Amino acid sequence: MGFGITELIAITIILAILILPIKFAASYVGAKNTGVFMCLLALIFAAIIQKGVTISFPLISIQHPIFDSIGALFLSAFAYMLVLGTTYLKGIAIALIQILFTFLLVFIVGLLGLGVSGLFNTL
């Protein structure tokens, strides 16, 4: 019924993968608000804005998904600018660093998962 230790560890890893890139990028570019809660709030705000635009303009995301991705970058930058207390150009830098750092973290976690499963032990 309740959460076990495995679920709590999984939620912690997922939150770390989502929040750490924003926190790292925000402190790197010199944003005013770089706390974990503010980074989580910025992430939630960016997701709400992106979902609102996707709902408002559904044909853009269906017919041209690259425009949806580019728009998400600029909308995230706007959300980071408002919540983290930085300029729009620094918000774009935060969004780009977040994308790169998130890919790196997911790759590392994937390698750790493969190592734990024994896949690398057979090579």
Which amino acid is located at 17 in the chain?
A: I
Note the pTM of the prediction, 2 decimals. Answer: 0.79
Mean pLDDT of 91-104: 91
Mean pLDDT of 93-118: 80
Q: pLDDT tens for residues 47-69?
A: 998 888 878 877 766 677 777 77
Domain residues of the chain, as ranges?
34-56+63-97
* pLDDT, position 7: 79
